Structure 1
């Protein structure tokens, strides 16, 4: 940051001890590091559990010369994994505590204008409740009743920017997010962006095929992969597959991935209906995050599966 004023970076703080360690590690004569006070919830991940903790951490950060409080952060995805009315109400309630935390920090004058961001930040973002985050936190920071530091026309006022961190918008899936995102009213329909192509390497039993991809290749923490497409290999031909790929959901609906080993997937199917050794299968995944840590360089293909680019993943 000292070498490049245009470089933007902010860190989270959620405890006084962490604030002190961070402040001691930084050069107090350099540019202050923007920090966001993280708001959490009981049973969740990191983050302050109470309003009192939020304010205590913000005060401690404001007292560190090397730090500058510029807003708050939270992760609402750990509140629930459902979109029932009860779950949505719980998520909305949590997001209102995030708004209250930001207002409380501003009320005490703890937001620091030394950070050259030009705006205050509120950062939230899982990939399930992005519509609820936008509804609860994208508006209403200025005007009557707002905390003094959040009104743009006051001396220390800056606009509040809502920063969504939802990751599945760029690499949607065929599992967890496909089920839940389609239930978000008024939002665009997202299309899955990741397929993992595998080959049948063994058919040792009737109704069972082994594929050459396993836990090292496929996410499995939020559900097993699902068969999306089948491309048969020409009998007797070397390295030759059919030009057409079957994507008939009905014909593949009885094919199931039932288990993963480190380097193998178990595909079960009704007797007499499965693939042969050498055939190719495309699998859809659930939870893109844990695909990106396995595939750090991903081929990008066109509709004919010609590689047209690569994308490097930083997860």
Structure 2
């Protein structure tokens, strides 16, 4: 029992110095230190080179230690999606919060009012009169002023005003509410769908700039340097380029909000990054995948089939996970075994079916397999703790999530 306690620490948390291949209960999610550091610096440089601030979307990780690292790297603030997420970020030390969503419901409004009273610099999104009136009443009754951003949407999309004219009318309504201050414009280009998405997204970004300038001409903004913000993790280059070309910095605060960049992935964002680099070859090396999930071969029930103790409760599954590398349990990170030809064909709650090639004759029960995931948001939310590891797969820190 003493040996177990020495390796696992309090409450089963792996201690620093523990090998992921021996002393950690698997499956486990792990972030590689070197790619993480690369990604933090890469995206911060990208934002700054385009004259934009970076407010990474924190819903991706909901990991306060990663928020801290993003802020230390130069991030302007952290973006969140819900009032409880904002509260979790604030209590962990994040003071500037951008909620890229509508604030609806008195219970959620109360959470935000408490945060503002505690010193949070908070912004949220609105897209209609009913919400504006409800927010105005609530925050006026609390003796507070809520900073809001009007969202520009697209026909058939998600939320947001459907035209620049609707944006202008909503700004007029906000102006009549003493509990509200119009602090900028917000958008999300991920809802733009077209056969040729690049020109469509550029056009959307241009309309966002047009709407912001129109509100400025009408004298609607209630703050200095109002925010103009958009950008998810796939098309951030197009948004940043449009903001930069429009020379907004003399009047506005341009903010981009990618979140998945911090650990990147082995799926949809790897593909999206290839698109960014094809449009911008001057960027050279892009982001590096840093998040992996390690699990063990559990059974070899018949020739050509391995069952791995990994399932939908452990890793994102909008695309099937990708086997990356294999190790012997208790072995060295330098001794990498092949997963060439391995194909994950089915994922259950806690079992992965791997079709093995004919030449895979050295697979053993207990072998440790590293898997890459698509869409990191849907892997982070499955873990209360994530191991930060070095190049030797030695745990250097355990990161707590706040879902």
User: Same fold per TM (> 0.5)?
Assistant: yes
Q: 1:278 is paired with a residue of what secondary structure?
A: coil
Q: Pick from 246, 261, 268 the counterpart of residue 336 of structure 2.
A: 246
Tell me which residue corresponds to 2:143: 30
Q: Pick from 182, 193, 197 the counterpart of residue 69 of structure 1.
A: 182
1:228 and 1:291 map into 2 onto residues whose CA distance is: 16
Tell me which residue corresponds to 1:265: 352
TM-score, normalization: structure 1?
Answer: 0.83
Q: Pick from 200, 216, 229 the counterpart of residue 297 of structure 2.
A: 200
Q: 2:140 is paired with a residue of what secondary structure?
A: coil
- State the shift of 1:110 in Å: 1.1
1:80 and 1:267 map into 2 onto residues whose CA distance is: 35
1:243 and 1:121 map into 2 onto residues whose CA distance is: 46
Q: 1:52 is paired with a residue of what secondary structure?
A: helix
Q: 1:286 is paired with a residue of what secondary structure?
A: coil
Task: Count matched residues.
Answer: 283
For each residue in 1:245-273, what CA deviation from the matched residue of structure 2 results, as whole angstroms up to 9, or x when unmatched?
Answer: 426xxx43411112211111111121341
Tell me which residue corresponds to 1:53: 166
Q: Pick from 305, 309, 312 the counterpart of residue 212 of structure 1.
A: 309
2:192 and 2:125 map into 1 onto residues whose CA distance is: 19
Q: Pick from 269, 282, 290 the counterpart of residue 378 of structure 2.
A: 290
C-alpha spacing 1:101/1:313, structure 2 compared with 1 (3 Å)? farther
- State the shift of 1:203 in Å: 1.6
2:358 and 2:193 map into 1 onto residues whose CA distance is: 39
- State the shift of 1:31 in Å: 3.5
Q: 1:252 is paired with a residue of what secondary structure?
A: coil
- State the shift of 1:139 in Å: 4.4
Q: Pick from 308, 317, 320 the counterpart of residue 224 of structure 1.
A: 320
Q: 1:281 is paired with a residue of what secondary structure?
A: strand
Q: Which structure has more helix as a fraction of its residues?
A: 2
1:2 and 1:72 map into 2 onto residues whose CA distance is: 20
For each residue in 1:182-205, what CA deviation from the matched residue of structure 2 results, as whole angstroms up to 9, or x when unmatched?
Answer: 231233411111010001111222
Query: Would you say the 8 A contact 1:208–1:268 is kept in 2?
Result: yes
Tell me which residue corresponds to 2:222: 112
What do you get for the CA RMSD once the two structures are aligned? 2.2
Query: Would you say the 8 A contact 2:116–2:122 is kept in 1?
Result: no
1:227 and 1:262 map into 2 onto residues whose CA distance is: 17
2:325 and 2:271 map into 1 onto residues whose CA distance is: 19
C-alpha spacing 1:311/1:243, structure 2 compared with 1 (3 Å)? closer
Q: Does 1:176 align with 2:176?
A: no
Greater mean alpha carbon deviation, residues 281-290 or residues 296-305: 296-305
Give ranges in structure 1 of 5+ residues lacking alignment: 143-149, 153-158, 234-239
2:150 and 2:390 map into 1 onto residues whose CA distance is: 43
Tell me which residue corresponds to 1:155: none
C-alpha spacing 1:245/1:17, structure 2 compared with 1 (3 Å)? farther
C-alpha spacing 1:296/1:124, structure 2 compared with 1 (3 Å)? farther
Q: Does 1:162 align with 2:275?
A: no
Tell me which residue corresponds to 1:303: 391
1:22 and 1:96 map into 2 onto residues whose CA distance is: 29
Determine which structure has greater relative contact order: mean sequence separation of CA pairs < 8 Å that are 6+ residues apart, divided by chain length. Answer: 2
Q: 2:374 is paired with a residue of what secondary structure?
A: coil
- State the shift of 1:302 in Å: 0.8
- State the shift of 1:207 in Å: 1.4
Tell me which residue corresponds to 1:128: 234
C-alpha spacing 1:102/1:290, structure 2 compared with 1 (3 Å)? same
- State the shift of 1:179 in Å: 1.5
Query: Would you say the 8 A contact 1:197–1:283 is kept in 2?
Result: yes
1:2 and 1:195 map into 2 onto residues whose CA distance is: 37
Query: Would you say the 8 A contact 2:125–2:186 is kept in 1?
Result: yes
Tell me which residue corresponds to 2:102: none
1:180 and 1:9 map into 2 onto residues whose CA distance is: 30
TM-score, normalization: structure 2?
Answer: 0.65
C-alpha spacing 1:271/1:39, structure 2 compared with 1 (3 Å)? same
Query: Would you say the 8 A contact 2:230–2:239 is kept in 1?
Result: yes
